[in-house]
Amino acid sequence: MSRKKIFNERYKTDNTPWELERPDSNLINIIKTSNIQPCKTLEIGCGTGSNAVWLSQNKFKVTGVDFSSLAIEKARKKAVKYGVEVDFHISDFLKQKNSAPEFEFLFDRGCFHSFDNRKERKIFAKNAGMHLKEHGMWLSFIGNADDKPREQSLGPPMRSALEIITAVEPYFKIVSLISGKFDSNREKPALCWKCLMKKRRILKNG
């Protein structure tokens, strides 16, 4: 079964433990403490749109993309419910090519880490850089491989700091890579990396 079909099925059955139905507290804290000002923003893997809606409520001009049509349908309804304008659309970010650098801030919560293949993670990082203007920032929340071993179905994919650095370094300078915990509705939230990056002026070959 394709990745797209898997996620559509999970949204159809509400088997989506990553969905909080509220904005992520880690995102809110980092936006405030890192002095990230309202700007043109892209959320990759936006799901049902809770974070995109919060960003829009706080004067960010937001585009949210997800390859799940059901997630985007729910996100659009959520934007209407809260009276905000967000440009939600269906898109496979890994397959996007030659994008004009129109965004100043990019956010993903558990999208980058979902790719097991090292080459795919590097393509993801390269595409992120292509979407961002000079000095644009990318904030990614990533499952942390320092967490205790567990069945993959019981939590997010886990990546090491080295895996992250290897994928993003040709395209981004890492501003901060901090270990913490996912904002979660689970009793014991999984460990995560909170990785804030700045686009390199000249992208290295990678």
Q: Which domains does the chain have, with CATH numbers?
A: 3-7+41-199 (3.40.50.150)
pTM: 0.92
User: Which residue carries 């700091």 as its tokens?
Assistant: 161
Residue 68's contacts (CB-CB under 8 Å, 6 or more residues apart) are: 4, 7, 8, 11, 47, 90
Spatial separation of the C-alpha atoms in residues 180 and 166, rounded to whole Å: 20
pLDDT at 13: 78
Beta bridge mates, 66: 90
pLDDT at 15: 77
Beta bridge mates, 173: 198
pLDDT at 74: 95
Which has the closest alpha carbon to 134: 172, 108, 166, 94? 172
Which has the closest alpha carbon to 41: 137, 109, 105? 105
Q: What are phi and psi of 144, to 5 degrees?
A: -100, 120
**What pLDDT tens digit does each residue of the chain (206 aa) get?**
566 677 767 877 777 878 889 999 999 999 999 989 999 999 999 999 999 999 999 999 999 999 999 999 999 999 999 999 999 999 988 887 666 789 999 999 999 999 999 999 999 999 999 999 999 999 999 999 998 776 655 678 899 999 999 999 999 999 999 999 999 998 889 999 999 999 997 666 55
